[in-house]
A and B are shown apart, each in its own frame.
Chain A
Amino acid sequence: MAEPQRARPKPTPETQHFWDGTKAGELRLQRCDACAHVYFPPRPFCPSCASRKVSIFKASGKGFLYSYVINHRPAAPGFTPPYAIAVVELDEGPRMMSNIIDCPQTPEALELDMKLEVAFEALDDKITLPVFRPVKG
């Protein structure tokens, strides 16, 4: 029997641009053309002012560690505990859930407010996940 797999996102018409972006090595956010609000997750209107005039742009990929847990049990399929489930605050404002790579999964190494940058992890030929690593130096 095959090992249970890590949960794989299935894009919708509203989120396809985001997943096309990660596959191309870009973290794409949306900005309202009317009020300049930057938001996530994707949707074809502004959740702040309701305008349908919104643009997709390439985000800086920079942010900081807002909060996290280090999950020990039960572990999700495809994960080896302990592993951190983090929330990253992007420099553009929105927050997103992610994992932190190239970093020990310990409270000592995972310091709140540490600077992070996006990296991309291909799950298969369709889906690439944005993850984050500590900024060196």
Chain B
Amino acid sequence: MRRNQVAVVGAAETTELGIIPNASQLQLHADAALNAIADAGLKLSDIDGFATAVETPQQVCHYLGIKPTWVDGTSVGGCSFMLHVRHAAAAIEAGLCKTVLITHAESGKSMIGKLPRSIPADSLQGQFEAPYGVYGPPSMFPIPVLRFMKTYGITHEQLASVAVVQREWAAKNPRAMMKDPITVADVLNSRMIAYPFRLLQCCLVTDGGGALILTSADRARDFPRKPVYIMGTGESVETPMVSQMETFNSSRAFKVAGPLAFKEAGITHKDVDHLMIYDAFAHLPLFGLGDLGFMPYEETGKFIADGNTRPGGKLPLNTNGGGLSYMHSGMYGMYALQESVRQMRGIAPAQVPNAKISVCHGVGGMFAASGTIVFTNER
């Protein structure tokens, strides 16, 4: 895909984030969509392309009253929205539609109008994983961690420092759920969830949503907000079964999606001013730093523990506080994208001064899928 031909011209989260007991999941989609449309200065009737995940495009389009000529229902987990951005950019370039709305919402905490998730007993997961006591992401996502730690000499303290650093970012963000400072000792003394991970190394469970609006870069100049250009994109999938990953020393899906996006953007790691790596659990930033090629895996834990990703550090990472401290409704990718857009617009609560290139890397399922977007505010 050609770089900087498509731009984000509208971006917003739901009016509230956190615990929202007065709205269904579908209404949260609408709330985010209406906020993004207002942000872009558009009308609903201007939207001719639509993408969402978990909920179907027809469900959300009908509720909002949108009549699209292009839809994408790619639903590969929390990074689905990175894939939507990539697909939407291609569709706009191909002339299939002009203005795409992407929505995410999840009543992850209040569970109002939330679709049930179940594993059929005759699926491969139902036959070869469920009988061994896996029960939700906390019991599955950390399964690779001990192998990763042993291979690369990563310590428990380094993995705890991920949560500590992200809490520092969250403290600067009025909309973050968790803002009180924490220490490595606090993390290592928090309640055990699934060894080696404790409560503060696992993502929050919240309600909320977000929406993006994309159009061609040529049209983007006429919108009220500073355009944020899609500079590079990548995507891949590996396996829905964490036990069947090629290796626990890296993520194959990350290693495909990340480098694709860097190549398309024509950038090197030194060009990256701001980085988001979807942190459902504390090991994901380490996998991301290694798989995206920022540094050897052996250095990832020390890099974060030494403060290089904290406020004022040389590689600002997860600057909204991340899934560990900002919010996590279940499919966090949309919130990572929102933070990248805010940073590129120059309006983030913890703004990185003069940031020009932001890399936003997402995971779906337990390393099942991945999507990476490189944004820039210069064309």
Once the chains are docked, how many angstroms separate the CA of A20 from the CA of B193? 35
Nearest CB to that of A95 among chain B residues? B243
Is A71 touching B146 in the complex (CB atoms < 8 A)? no
Residues of A within 8 A of B195 (CB): 69-70, 72, 82, 107
Interface: B155 (CB within 8 A): no
* In the complex, number of A-B residue pairs with CB atoms less than 8 Å apart: 120
- Of the candidates A67, A74, A123, the one whose C-beta lies within 8 Å of that of B131 is A123
- Of the candidates A66, A67, A97, the one whose C-beta lies within 8 Å of that of B132 is A97
Q: 25 pairs across A/B with beta carbons < 8 Å? A: A7-B119, A7-B131, A9-B131, A10-B121, A10-B122, A12-B122, A67-B145, A67-B147, A67-B248, A69-B139, A76-B130, A77-B135, A85-B132, A85-B134, A85-B143, A87-B143, A87-B243, A87-B248, A95-B243, A95-B244, A96-B243, A97-B132, A97-B241, A112-B147, A129-B132
Contact with B along A1-13 (1 / 0, CB 8 A): 0000011111110
Residues of B within 8 A of A41 (CB): 124, 127-128, 241, 244
Nearest CB to that of A67 among chain B residues? B147
Minimal beta-carbon separation of B350 from chain A (angstroms): 32
Q: Which of B133, B134, B147 has the most chain A CB within a 10 Å cutoff? A: B133
Interface: B115 (CB within 8 A): no
Interface: A79 (CB within 8 A): yes
Residues of B within 8 A of A123 (CB): 131
- Of the candidates A8, A72, A96, the one whose C-beta lies within 8 Å of that of B193 is A72
Residues of B within 8 A of A96 (CB): 128, 243
- Of the candidates A12, A67, A79, the one whose C-beta lies within 8 Å of that of B146 is A67
Residues of B within 8 A of A129 (CB): 131-132
Residues of A within 8 A of B244 (CB): 41, 95
Residues of A within 8 A of B119 (CB): 7
Once the chains are docked, how many angstroms separate the CA of A22 from the CA of B134? 21
Residues of B within 8 A of A83 (CB): 133
Is A8 touching B194 in the complex (CB atoms < 8 A)? no
Residues of B within 8 A of A73 (CB): 138, 191-193
Once the chains are docked, how many angstroms separate the CA of A87 from the CA of B103? 36
Known interface pairs A75-B133, A76-B139, A97-B134; A9-B193 also in contact (CB < 8 Å): no
Interface: B95 (CB within 8 A): no
Is A74 touching B136 in the complex (CB atoms < 8 A)? yes
- Of the candidates B150, B197, B241, the one whose C-beta lies within 8 Å of that of A69 is B197
Is B143 touching A69 in the complex (CB atoms < 8 A)? yes
Interface: B142 (CB within 8 A): yes
Once the chains are docked, how many angstroms separate the CA of A41 from the CA of B193? 28
Nearest CB to that of A15 among chain B residues? B127
Is A72 touching B192 in the complex (CB atoms < 8 A)? yes
Interface: B196 (CB within 8 A): yes
Residues of B within 8 A of A95 (CB): 243-244
Known interface pairs A74-B135, A87-B243, A112-B150; A9-B127 also in contact (CB < 8 Å): yes
Interface: A68 (CB within 8 A): yes
Once the chains are docked, how many angstroms separate the CA of A87 from the CA of B191? 24
Is A68 touching B128 in the complex (CB atoms < 8 A)? no
Once the chains are docked, how many angstroms separate the CA of A70 from the CA of B147? 14
Minimal beta-carbon separation of B378 from chain A (angstroms): 43
Q: Which of A74, A75, A79, A97 has the most chain B CB within a 10 Å cutoff? A: A97
Residues of A within 8 A of B126 (CB): 7, 9-10
